[in-house]
Amino acid sequence: MLKLLKLLKDGRFHSGEALGAALGISRSAVWKQLQHLEAELSLPVYKVRGRGYRLAAPLSLLDVSAIEGAGTGRLWPMHIHEEIDSTNAEALRAISAGRQAPFLVLAEHQSAGRGRRGRNWSSPFAQNLYYSLVLRIDGGMRQLEGLSLVVGLAVMRTLQSVGVNAAGLKWPNDVLANGRKIAGILLELVGDPADVCHVVLGIGVNVNMQTNSEVDQAWTSVRLETGQQVDRNQLVALLNENLQVHLERHRQSGFTDLQAEWEQGHLWQGCAVSLIAGVTRVDGVVLGIDRQGALRLQVEGVEKSFSGGELSLRLRDDS
């Protein structure tokens, strides 16, 4: 079906005869593949007698050559999948199989995309960015301090560079725009964090998605924020470059070099919040983050710090 998608990705009409000739199949076989596109990938196909078939909207399909051509930074080996359970899961399998880091896993569609705390991450075909970068970490725990926040900072800068001026951070792993979630980050670690380990930097960005009934929270996308169709290959290249810059700063100077910049991008700085940990709720005011990336709250006049994990941060009604 990928060959058919490449012919239709421009969003223009193509006759069944022309599609069949290009694919070397009959018009009836073209029709069957079009039905599969709609059923399996939820891609609406318009059919007009005398004009042929076209997708409801153009598609930006991922392509290694296009990503390499759009970027200026150092290139990581890339593996693009048409469909996979999740890019993080594939990255973890590749680590177990002995693939040498660094490397990048991308997908057009995830059948079991994962967010934080085991939540499902909706992953419509060729609409968004499903991105997992694998790094080898040497030198122990210091290299991991604040790492998820560093990734969030790189994602925010990438979104701002493509016109999402309202993009900002929500501790610990979300990027919001106008109060709605536009990107999320999931880090997974394997190996010995005190010696040598591998970390998977999983990033999901809502790019060209305009409707989605599966998402149970307020969300937005780059296209909804800017009104423009986004070339996902260019977005991958920009994200690669921003990650390289921020990860190198983190490697050389630690999280303290990025702490103030992260706080400047934190949308809830100074806000009244509730921190949820299981059945426990802590109410306080956000003071910032510490040198390890933990959240600093003023709770009943006393400053307290909270690390990540299973914590959930929410704005209070009285904020």
Render pLDDT for 205-258 as a digit per residue (tens, 0 to 9).
999 988 776 777 789 999 999 999 899 999 999 999 999 999 999 999 889 999
Q: What angle do CA 123, 128, 131 make, to 5 degrees?
A: 85
d(CA 34, CA 93) in angstroms, rounded, equals: 32
Residues 278 and 135 in one domain: no
Q: What is the CATH number of the domain that holds 36?
A: 1.10.10.10
N- to C-terminal Cα separation, the chain: 50
Residues 147 and 296 in one domain: no
d(CA 52, CA 46) in angstroms, rounded, equals: 8
Q: Is the peptide bond before 172 cis (omega within 30 degrees of 0)?
A: yes
Residues 212 and 104 in one domain: yes
d(CA 67, CA 51) in angstroms, rounded, equals: 33
Residues 79 and 51 in one domain: no
Q: What is the pLDDT of residues 174-201, one digit of tens each?
A: 999 999 999 999 999 998 878 889 999 9
Based on the number of CB atoms within 10 Å of its own CB, is 9 exposed (0-12), middle (13-18) or buried (19 or more)?
Answer: middle
Residues 225 and 272 in one domain: no
Q: Enumerate the known binding-site residues for biotin.
A: 86-88, 110, 114-116, 181
How many residues can be counted in the chain? 319
Q: Enumerate the known binding-site residues.
A: 86-88, 110, 114-116, 181
Lowest mean pLDDT among 41-45, 92-96, 178-182, 188-192: 41-45
Residues 45 and 111 in one domain: no
Q: How confident is the model at residue 70 (pLDDT cuts 50, 70, 90)?
A: confident
Give the pLDDT confidence score for residue 169 in this predicted structure.
96
Q: Hunting for tokens 């006049």 — which residue is that?
A: 301
Q: What is the CATH number of the domain that holds 280?
A: 2.30.30.100
Residue 309 has pLDDT above 60, yes or no: no
d(CA 235, CA 167) in angstroms, rounded, equals: 15
Give the pLDDT confidence score for residue 75 in this predicted structure.
83
Q: How confident is the model at residue 119 (pLDDT cuts 50, 70, 90)?
A: low
- Closest by CA to 45, choosing from 36, 34, 60, is 34
**Mean pLDDT taken over the chain:** 88
d(CA 54, CA 204) in angstroms, rounded, equals: 28
Q: Is the peptide bond before 44 cis (omega within 30 degrees of 0)?
A: no
Residues with catalytic roles? 116, 181, 314
Half-sphere exposure of 239 (CA within 13 A, CB side): 26
Residues 9 and 42 in one domain: yes
Q: What is the CATH number of the domain that holds 241?
A: 3.30.930.10
Residues 133 and 71 in one domain: yes
Residues 116 and 200 in one domain: yes
Give the pLDDT confidence score for residue 114 in this predicted structure.
67
CA dihedral 150, 151, 155, 158 (to 10 degrees): 70
Instruction: Choose between 128 and 141: higher pLDDT.
Output: 128
Q: Are 85 and 91 in contact (CB under 8 A)?
A: no
Residues 210 and 295 in one domain: no
Give the pLDDT confidence score for residue 314 in this predicted structure.
77
Give the pLDDT confidence score for residue 235 in this predicted structure.
96
Range of the domain at 11: 2-55
Distance from chain centroid for Cα 277: 25
Percent of the chain topping pLDDT 70: 93
Total domain count, the chain = 3
Residues 156 and 259 in one domain: yes
Residue 319 has pLDDT above 60, yes or no: no
Q: Are 94 and 200 in contact (CB under 8 A)?
A: no
Give the pLDDT confidence score for residue 313 in this predicted structure.
73
For residues 53-73, give the mean pLDDT: 85
Give the pLDDT confidence score for residue 311 in this predicted structure.
59
Residues 258 and 282 in one domain: no
Q: What is the full DSSP assignment across 47-104?
A: EETTTEEEESS------HHHHHHH--SPPPPEEEESSBS-HHHHHHHHHHTTPPSSEE
Give the pLDDT confidence score for residue 10 in this predicted structure.
85
Give the pLDDT confidence score for residue 11 in this predicted structure.
85
- Closest by CA to 81, choosing from 96, 103, 63, is 63
For residues 67-78, give the mean pLDDT: 84
